Structure formats: C-alpha cells, structure tokens
Amino acid sequence: MASPGTAIDLSSSYGVAYWGFIVSAVLYGCIIVQGYIYFSCYPKDSWLLKSFVATMIILDGGITVLAAESFNYLLIKKYGDASVLLVMNDAILSEYILTWLVVTASQIFYASRVYIVNKKFWYIPAMIGLLALGSQAAIIVLFVKLFREHRLVENLAKREFVVLSCLTGGMSSAADIISTGAMCYFLASHRTGFRKTKQLIKMLIFYSVNRGVMVTVCQIAILVTFALKPTGLWWLPPHLCLSKFHVITLVALLNARSKMRPHRDDNVLSIMATDRTSMRHSRFKDKLSGPRFALRTSPKHEERVMPSEPSSSIFSYHYALSRSSDRSETSITNIESEERSEHQAQNVV
C-alpha cells in the first residue's frame, strides 16, 4: 500500500470517469422505471418488440455492472498499484464493446421507424443502417489493434487510434443526425388540417428531436474530448452515458403511445347518414389494413367507432378512434385522408 507521501492524484483522469459512472448509474435507474412502465402498460405488444426492449435493458445493465467492476478493480482490488492504471482491463474493454452494440441496435431500430414513415425513400434508412454498422466495424478494428498493442492506455494517443475513434464517432453521429432529420421531415409531410392528427405528429416530432439532440451531443462530446486528449479520460463520462441515452429515448418513445391515444368520450359525434355516406364508410372500413372499425347507429342516427382489435403490425397497438362527418361527399373524403395520415403516424411507434 502506498504511503501518504507517494499518493497519486487521479482527480483529473479516473476521478472524472468515476463521476461519469455515478451519473450513468442514475440514468440506468431511469431505464428500469421506463421498462417497468412499458411492460406494465403494453402487455399486448408483439413478443418480438418486448424481447428487443428487454434485451436492450439487460445489455445496458451489463454495461453498468462492467463499468462498476472496472472501478472496483482499479481503485479497490489494485489500490496503490500504479501499474494497473496503464492497462485497460477486460471489464473496461467488454463495457466499451457492449456500449457500441447497444448504440448500433438502437440506430437500426430507429432506421426501421424511418422506413415505416416513408417507404418510398428506402435508401435513407438503408444509409442510416450502413453508417451504424460501419461505426461498429471501426470499433472492432480499433479493439483488434488495441489488443496487439497490449491494451496500454498511452497507445490511445497514437494517430491510428485517434483516427479510428473519430471515424466511429463521426459515422455514428451522422446516422443519428440523418435519422432525426428524415423522421421530422417525413412526419411533417403527413400533416393535415385536423387537430388530433397534428397533435399526434407534433408529439412524434418532439420525441424524435429530443432523442436526436441527446445522443448527437453525447457523441460529439466523446469525439471532441477524445481527439483533444485521448489519455486524459475526459471522454469516458459521455461514453458511459451514451448507451443510457439511446435506451431511455427508445423506451420513452414506446411509452409515449398512451399520450397519443385519442379520448373516446371527446370524439363521440352525431351524423345524419344517408345511404350513400353509409356505403362509403363501409368501403373505407374494408380498405383499412390497420385498425378495424365497429359501427353502431343509435336511434338518433349516431355513428360511434368502438375500440379496435389489436393490429397485426409488429410494432403497433390497438386504440380507440371516433370521427364525425356530415352528409356531404367532401367530409367523407376528409375523414379518409385524416385516418390514413394518423394510422401511418401511429405505426411509427
């Protein structure tokens, strides 16, 4: 054990990383809460989606445990041994690989959401996926080189490591920026003159922008701090929080669906349906591939849309819809336009 006279001040290196770990542990607590809300409120979601969310939460928990073990090894098990501070141990390297695996999975999932919004421009989500996979490939190359260099921390300052790290961060940031911009643009193009559809799309854009800003700022912080001083470990705090931001925003977007559901009581509307409008509604009901309508006419000729059965889409959910119309052909056309736009926006989550 080192004497007080030979104590090493780690406040500017591992001390900074330690506080970054504290923040990341708090963020993982938020993920646990979001996960509990998701599995409690959406039991009818597809098993594929629930398995994906559970895997992301478990992997991020593994990242948190590995980060804790890293500090336990460096500052407790090997306390006073300055030589261990020069080598990246197995827990640190495993945490780094898992972090980028979670980031890549999150970006590919978000690329699939962009594809659902607008399938015509399929090459945009394809580009996002390629950038995400490219950043993962650069990480693998970096770690192969790092193992060949005996995992020494000082080797991070070498030009090849700086270039690979900047390439990884740059491609990942580009994927997040493109996906956020594409999502907002495509959602905005589906806006109609109907209040509830506008509110739904506005909320989706809000969550998309928040996600994009959080993960992009974190990526840029890692990129800049690593490029300036790789061995200073100032890049570790944002790195420890990176996977947390991806998982939190992903689960929060899924949980936000409860806020997007229309209130049935506020949308019960009376109509005076003619034979022509009733036939038009019947044809429109058969054309819908998502929610199915149950129509009921009251003595006062009220038409009410009852809650639909769960949609067959993997990432959608069942919800209650109700709309009004008058006897005119124009109002029926407007209802069809609104339903198409809202159904496509709902499928994003």
Give the mean model confidence (pLDDT) for residues 1-22.
71
Contact, 170 vs 222, CB < 8 A? no
pLDDT band at 145 (very low <50, low <70, confident <90, very high): confident
Domains of the chain listed by start with CATH number:
4-260 (1.20.1070), 264-346 (no CATH)
Contact, 58 vs 90, CB < 8 A? no
Output the pLDDT for position 343.
Answer: 58
Output the pLDDT for position 277.
Answer: 43
302 DSSP β-pair partners: 270
Selection from 289, 295, 294 nearest residue 312 by Cα: 289
Output the pLDDT for position 82.
Answer: 75
Selection from 256, 160, 170, 244 nearest residue 208 by Cα: 256
Interval 33-79: pLDDT, tens: 999 999 998 888 889 999 999 999 999 999 999 999 998 888 888 77
Give the mean model confidence (pLDDT) for residues 86-96.
85
Range in 7-11, 115-119, 270-274 the model is least confident about: 270-274
Output the pLDDT for position 259.
Answer: 65
Question: Rounded CA gap, 153 and 70, in Å?
Answer: 14
CB-based contacts of 238: which residues, under 8 Å, 6+ apart? 20, 218, 221, 222, 225
Mean pLDDT of the chain: 75
Give the mean model confidence (pLDDT) for residues 130-145.
90
Output the pLDDT for position 330.
Answer: 47
pLDDT at 265 over 60: no
For the record, the structure tokens of 309 come out as: 């059965």
What angle do the packed helices 275-287 and 329-346 form, to 10 degrees? 20
Question: Rounded CA gap, 190 and 210, in Å?
Answer: 20
* Radius of gyration of the CA atoms of the chain, in A: 26
Output the pLDDT for position 274.
Answer: 38
Range in 37-46, 149-158, 276-285, 309-318 the model is least confident about: 309-318
Output the pLDDT for position 176.
Answer: 92
Give the mean model confidence (pLDDT) for residues 270-289.
39
Output the pLDDT for position 99.
Answer: 93
Give the mean model confidence (pLDDT) for residues 255-270.
53
Output the pLDDT for position 183.
Answer: 87
pLDDT band at 113 (very low <50, low <70, confident <90, very high): confident
Output the pLDDT for position 174.
Answer: 92
Question: Rounded CA gap, 181 and 200, in Å?
Answer: 18
As a whole-number percent, the residues of the chain with pLDDT over 90 amount to: 28
Q: Is 227 in a helix, a strand, or coil?
A: helix
Query: Is the model more confident about 163 or about 4?
Result: 163
303 DSSP β-pair partners: 297
Interval 167-218: pLDDT, tens: 998 999 999 999 999 888 888 877 666 676 777 778 888 888 888 899 999 9
For the record, the structure tokens of 139 come out as: 């990480």
Give the mean model confidence (pLDDT) for residues 224-240.
86
Give the mean model confidence (pLDDT) for residues 2-17.
67
